[in-house]
Chain A
Amino acid sequence: MSWKRHHLIPETFGVKRRRKRGPVESDPLRGEPELMQLFPRGLFEDALPPIVLRSQVYSLVPDRTVADRQLKELQEQGEIRIVQLGFDLDAHGIIFTEDYRTRVCDCVLKACDGRPYAGAVQKFLASVLPACGDLSFQQDQMTQTFGFRDSEITHLVNAGVLTVRDAGSWWLAVPGAGRFIKYFVKGRQAVLSMVRKAKYRELLLSELLGRRAPVVVRLGLTYHVHDLIGAQLVDCISTTSGTLLRLPET
């Protein structure tokens, strides 16, 4: 139990005179471009838009509720799309809408020129994307509101733009994201095992980043470290020698 007076106490008692606070600095919109820089575009030959994970945004913004609310605002304004990555129900990928549209247009239309689903995909990109900002789509929404036939929905699933969630509902997906997810999961396990093998199961952040990345880690050590800290898979402890990453006991 800490003997220091918790910061909530003066707030509750209204003792301290409140200083004029400046605008809130922790804006995920500013953090995202730098996270996007970490994403290795060249690895996927520019076929994928840069994907940032929600847990990485948490590692930049200290208050998670504020981060969630701001991401939701951005989603409602239509600036970003949130996509369900299949490996973990909690892991959401964040993509700028512009990037998503250009990449999907390029790669899908390039791949399926002349095939029947080009038309369905174009219709989807033009009508559904700007209108509905959710992660998932339902059967009646697609058929009644947007006028898709069942065969067109099958084309969309084949093209990789939608993934089946349940009978009659689909997640929004990024075509070709399978490779990214494979590298991501393997890289995350590899970085976690680097911490696990260390003596006392803890590692200084500077030392971790200075080590040579194992071959399995294709997306970069910094990318994975942000994700591990934000997903609370490692505890982040500040010491006199810098930040220490330690595996939690449970």
Chain B
Amino acid sequence: MLGFLSARQTGLEDPLRLRRAESTRRVLGLELNKDRDVERIHGGGINTLDIEPVEGRYMLSGGSDGVIVLYDLENSSRQSYYTCKAVCSIGRDHPDVHRYSVETVQWYPHDTGMFTSSSFDKTLKVWDTNTLQTADVFNFEETVYSHHMSPVSTKHCLVAVGTRGPKVQLCDLKSGSCSHILQGHRQEILAVSWSPRYDYILATASADSRVKLWDVRRASGYLITLDQHNGKKSQAVESANTAHNGKVNGLCFTSDGLHLLTVGTDNRMRLWNSSNGENTLVNYGKVCNNSKKGLKFTVSCGCSSEFVFVPYGSTIAVYTVYSGEQITMLKGHYKTVDCCVFQSNFQELYSGSRDCNILAWVPSLYEPVPDDDETTTKSQLNPAFEDAWSSSDEEG
């Protein structure tokens, strides 16, 4: 580590290398910390979490009671013990609250002034963060399982929505109506995700065991259906291609958008090359998955070897993405974990589960060396704020 610092200082090494090495070391040391807590607001299980991409400071959570809470993750107190407080929440007494469970929440990718939430009450609501009012509501015929807005796109404001019907709907935020329908799946769509690399590439996962990649500008249909056996590609046999041997529950692109991870109810996780749809055949072993709806998992960002954090029953399993090795299982929740998000600035992981808790997994730092006795009694105040008046009455 000191060698890295001096190499960076003298210019022998790229500064990014030190950052990636240290990020990896911190991710490998993730654990529950008694000093970090997230305030408990939800009365039901937590289905979804999202951290805003601009600063990494605010986190949204959506629960099965329909409540949406906004947390401030930044530690502005000087103490090491910190509870992430809820800044505001859309509770059951709000006039526009979702009637049933909130399945997905997402911040508007470009700033924190807006966020979107979709729920089992067949609506997608667009909220203004400052006034906490709905700016727009999209209604659908079926329950909504998942929605996603492209994190990189500046040319379009399409939100892809996956519902219980087999059609993927694309809603345009500018015009306020559904602009496209993508047809191709046969059963409910459990997860949708835009590529973080290209503006128009969308991946959708469905209960009919298929994962399809779409270019939304193309009128004729999907680009590729992922095939787990990497068989010969020909149009006639596309119907037989399956990505998993069960429902496909979760989708996640790696942060560079070159690979796609999918999990399915056949207890497998697969890594695909997103440009040609090839199964890279990385074997992660058994990844238990009993979820009937989507499973939200996440990939780390900024480490030298990327890690994927997958909810595995009541624990979170951590694997290296490209070699499939299981690093550890993070144990701490009492019931099934439903979602997790990674904060890449501080390498922290937040996970929400059915036991109504959000847990923060923080890199374990070294224990501070205990100071000598004189220094502990010193005042905690910054010397600039200390008053110069003496407490004695005689002096002026």
Contacts and interface: CB of A to CB of B under 8 A. Distances in A.
Given A8-B305, A9-B28, A169-B237, A134 B232 contact: yes
A72 B24 contact: no
Interface stretch (B50-58, B103-111, B319-327): B319-327
Contacts of B304: 12
A166 B320 CA distance: 35
A169 B3 CA distance: 59
Contacts, number: 86
A6 B28 contact: yes
Interface residues of B, number: 42
A138 B232 contact: yes
B369 interface: no
Contacts of B29: 1
A134 B364 CA distance: 48
A135 interface: yes
Interface stretch (A30-38, A62-70, A205-213, A238-246): A62-70
Given A89-B245, A134-B229, A232 B286 contact: yes
A13 B4 contact: yes
The A interface, classified by DSSP as helix, strand, loop or mixed, is mixed
Nearest to A141: B232
Contacts of B268: 90
A232 B285 contact: yes
B281 A69 contact: yes
A89 B290 CA distance: 17
A64 B28 contact: no
A139 B25 contact: no
A122 interface: no
B236 A138 contact: yes
Interface string A10-41: 00110100000000000000000000000000
B282 A12 contact: no
A130 interface: no
A64 B285 contact: yes
Interface in B31-48: 31-32
Interface of B: 1, 3-4, 20-21, 24-25, 28-32, 229, 231-232, 234, 236-237, 239-240, 245, 266, 268, 281-286, 288, 290, 304-305, 313, 320, 323-325, 327-328, 330, 364
Given A8-B327, A12-B20, A141-B232, 4 more contacts: A1-B328, A8-B24, A65-B282, A135-B231
Interface of A: 1-2, 6, 8-9, 12-13, 15, 58, 63-65, 67-69, 72, 89-90, 134-136, 138-141, 165-166, 168-169, 231-232, 249-250
25 contacts: A6-B28, A8-B28, A8-B320, A9-B25, A9-B28, A12-B24, A12-B304, A12-B305, A63-B324, A64-B283, A64-B284, A64-B285, A65-B281, A65-B282, A90-B268, A134-B231, A139-B237, A140-B236, A141-B232, A165-B240, A166-B240, A168-B240, A232-B285, A249-B313, A250-B288
